[in-house]
């Protein structure tokens, strides 16, 4: 609950500027991976006959190969934005100064872009692996004679896969800050990050799953309304990516600062501001 509250407070205060930074890559990434594709697959399960694994896998991915170039561009744009955001949030928590001015972009790209691109590609690989596994299980359940039973098993599979993905991203959440700020190479940063997060993995999963639940509901509602409002799932996917990018990065740095015992200047400044306000109020009453 601690990390959930801290991260929600942080993202709420910086949401507008982070929204502007991430809106374009969030839209572009929907052309590479569609978070709502499985919800759509399950919604249409009873009224659709799928012919083999390949068709199910395509449905689970939910992408148009003709527009895949936009998704690939999304990886590059996202890496660019992450380079800026990594630097801005870490500096804010370290010094209390949040700055995304153009003057700092060049330095942040030089220092962060390679790592950001590596992280993006790794995340895509993880999602693709889970999509393949989901499709494999869904195909297996289509072989069950009773389609309703197959649907129930598929829904359970989706829930388990979501949990496992959250578990994976919780285990590796400190990989990026350890590469950028602790001076470790990729393998060393991953190993050290896993040791750091040990004991806090399920707390991190909890901090991730609660904000995700409204978007899962949106996916189901969006799927039901898609026939009447074409393109709605694209909007839902974009909003999901937007929320996940902003929230995960804030949680990542919050955990890093907390578990390394580094004092957060942004929280210190906030406490001092509240203390000063209370003192002024008290003095005003005395007057």
pLDDT in tens, 124-144: 999 999 999 999 999 999 998
Looking at mean pLDDT, say which of 39-48, 117-126, 228-237 comes out highest: 117-126
| CB contact at 8 A, 95 and 264 | no
Q: What is the span of the domain harbouring residue 215?
A: 2-286
Q: How confident is the model at residue 211 (pLDDT cuts 50, 70, 90)?
A: confident
Number of structural domains the chain divides into: 1
Q: For the chain, where are the alpha helices, taking DSSP H only?
A: 2-29, 37-43, 53-61, 68-95, 105-142, 147-171, 175-181, 186-197, 201-225, 232-259, 265-286
pLDDT of the residue at 141: 93
The average confidence (pLDDT) of the chain is 86
How many angstroms separate the CA atoms of 178 and 208, rounded? 20
How many angstroms separate the CA atoms of 61 and 130, rounded? 10
Q: How confident is the model at residue 287 (pLDDT cuts 50, 70, 90)?
A: very low
149: its two tokens:
């039973």
Q: How confident is the model at residue 240 (pLDDT cuts 50, 70, 90)?
A: very high
Residues whose CB is less than 8 angstroms from the CB of residue 162 and which lie 6 or more positions away in sequence, other chains included? 212, 216
pTM: 0.87
Model confidence at 276: pLDDT above 70: no
pLDDT, average across residues 62-75: 89
């Amino acid at each position: 609950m601690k990390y959930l509250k801290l991260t929600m407070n942080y993202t709420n205060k910086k949401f507008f500027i982070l929204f502007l930074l991430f809106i374009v890559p969030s839209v572009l990434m929907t052309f590479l991976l569609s978070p709502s594709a499985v919800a759509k697959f399950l919604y249409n399960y009873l009224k659709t006959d799928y012919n083999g694994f390949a068709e199910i896998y395509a449905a689970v991915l939910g992408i148009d190969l003709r527009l895949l170039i936009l998704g690939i561009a999304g990886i590059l744009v996202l890496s660019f934005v992450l380079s800026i955001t990594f630097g801005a949030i870490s500096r804010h928590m370290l010094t209390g100064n949040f700055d995304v001015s153009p003057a700092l972009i060049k330095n942040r790209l030089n220092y962060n872009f390679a790592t950001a691109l590596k992280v993006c590609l790794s995340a895509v690989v993880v999602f693709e692996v889970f999509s393949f596994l989901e499709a494999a299980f869904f195909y297996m359940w289509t072989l069950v004679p009773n389609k309703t039973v197959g649907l129930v098993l598929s829904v359970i599979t989706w829930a388990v896969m979501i949990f496992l993905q959250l578990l994976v991203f919780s285990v590796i959440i400190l990989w990026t800050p350890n590469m950028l700020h602790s001076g470790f190479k990729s393998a060393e940063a991953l190993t050290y990050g896993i040791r750091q997060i040990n004991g806090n993995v399920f707390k991190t999963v909890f901090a991730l799953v609660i904000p995700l639940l409204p978007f899962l509901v949106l996916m189901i509602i969006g799927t039901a309304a898609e026939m009447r409002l074409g393109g709605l799932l694209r909007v839902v996917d974009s909003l999901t990516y937007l929320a996940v990018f902003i929230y995960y990065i804030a949680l990542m740095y919050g955990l890093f600062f907390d578990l390394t015992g580094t004092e957060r200047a942004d929280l210190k400044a906030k406490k001092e501001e509240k203390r000063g306000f209370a003192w002024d109020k008290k003095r005003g009453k005395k007057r």
